[in-house]
Amino acid sequence: MTHFERDDRLNDRLLDVARQYHAPLPTPREDMWSAIAAGRQRRFERRRRGLPIRWGLALAAVLVLGVALGRWTMSGRGSIASGPTGVPSDVAYQVAASQYLSRTEVLLTDFRAESRRGRLDPQFLAAARDLLTTTRLMLDSPAAKDQHLKNLLEDLELVLAQITQLPAEPGRQNEMDLINQGMDQHGVLTRLRTATPAGPPSSRAQGAL
């Protein structure tokens, strides 16, 4: 047997030499931690900038579709199966409203759970900002012709605006409690759940169509 093998293994001398292969330097612990923090912040900012744009575009597409359907029908060039309101363009708004209400319901339910910790993470706040933008778009859209929905949207705008103004740092328990009390007093979550059709978001959209 040579020094190259003892059973299948390389011998100790060779293993010693092999262990010098890419022998690691001392870990640059603090440098890397700073770089990790900066990298995570950059990605978070990138996502935060991207989200409202994507949702804004999606909502705008639905609104444009609604307007187009309405004009098409009014010009008498075709007929489209109408929704519960009897106005075809309302179907598109219902889809947008249904998806928006579902997301808001999830976020506000999460808020109750998160507020027990007394701290909101940056991703949660980004989602709230995104929904606040969508709420304002919904208020400016024909979906707000419905007075009940308009009232709900206005309450949601207030709640979301309060949430987005919370800093992402611990020790905000009192402010979060006040937001929760405000929601309870106005029955925001109950009204939101009543306005949100039952079932998963995808089936709600299909139902509206």
Partner 1 sequence: MDERELIARARAGEPAAERALYDAHVDRVYRLAYRLAGDDDLARDFTQEAFIRAFERLHTFRGDSQVSTWLHAITTSVALNGLRKVKRFRQRETDLDDAAQVSGGPRLAEPDLKRRLHAAIDALPEGYRTVFLLHDVEGYTHEEIGAVLGVETGTSKAQLSRARAKLREALADFAGEWAS
Instruction: Name the residues that contact partner 1, by CB under 8 A.
Output: 2-5, 8-11, 13-15, 17-22, 24-25, 27-29, 31-33, 35-36, 39-40, 43, 117, 119, 121
Please say which residue, 21 or 86, places its beta carbon nearer to partner 1.
21
Q: How far is the CB of 30 from partner 1 (least distance, A)?
A: 10
At 13, list the tokens: 């001398």
Residue 81, Ramachandran bin (φ over 0: left; ψ between -120 and 50: alpha; else beta): beta
**Exposed / middle / buried, residue 196 (Cβ in 10 Å: 0-12, 13-18, 19+):** buried
Q: How far is the CB of 40 from partner 1 (least distance, A)?
A: 6
Q: How far is the CB of 166 from partner 1 (least distance, A)?
A: 14
CA 154 to chain centre: 20
Q: How far is the CB of 74 from partner 1 (least distance, A)?
A: 49
Please say which residue, 121 or 154, places its beta carbon nearer to partner 1.
121
119, 170 Cβ separation under 8 angstroms: yes
Please say which residue, 56 or 118, places its beta carbon nearer to partner 1.
118
Please say which residue, 96 or 163, places its beta carbon nearer to partner 1.
163
Residues 6 or more apart whose Cβ sits within 8 Å of residue 119: 168, 169, 170, 171, 172
192, 131 Cβ separation under 8 angstroms: no
Q: How far is the CB of 100 from partner 1 (least distance, A)?
A: 25
Please say which residue, 114 or 175, places its beta carbon nearer to partner 1.
114
Size (the chain), residues: 209
The beta strands (E) that lie in the chain are given as: none
